[in-house]
Homo-oligomer: A and B are copies of this chain.
Amino acid sequence: MKVSVVKNILAANDRIAQENRAIFDEKNLLVFNLMSSPGAGKTSLLEKTIVALKDHLNMGVIEGDIQSSQDAERIAETGAPAVQINTGGACHLDGNMIRDTFHEFDFDALDLLVVENVGNLVCPAEFKVGEDFKVMILSVTEGEDKPAKYPLMFHESKVLLVNKIDLLPYVDCSVERIREESLKVNPDLTIFEISCKTGEGLDAWCDWLKGEIKAKA
Which residues of A are at the interface with B, using a C-beta cutoff of 8 A? 2, 5, 9, 37-39, 65-68, 70, 89, 91, 118-123, 139, 141-143, 145-146, 148-152, 164, 166-167, 170-172, 197
**Shortest Cβ distance from A167 into B: residue:** B170
Q: Is the CB of A141 within 8 A of B37?
A: no
A contacts with B: majority SS = loop
Q: Is the CB of B68 within 8 A of A145?
A: yes
Q: In the complex this chain forms, how many copies of it are found?
A: 2
Question: Which residues of chain B come closer than 8 Å to A150, judged between CB atoms?
Answer: 38, 66, 119
Q: How far is the CA of A177 from the CA of B1 in the complex (A)?
A: 45
Q: How far is the CA of A143 from the CA of B125 in the complex (A)?
A: 23
**Shortest Cβ distance from A74 into B: residue:** B145
Q: How far is the CA of A122 from the CA of B66 in the complex (A)?
A: 9
Best-surrounded residue of A9, A91, A146, A151 (most CB of chain B within 10 A): A91
Question: Which residues of chain B come closer than 8 Å to A149, judged between CB atoms?
Answer: 38, 65-68, 70, 119
Q: How far is the CA of A149 from the CA of B66 in the complex (A)?
A: 6
- How far, in Å, is A13 (CB) from chain B's closest CB? 11
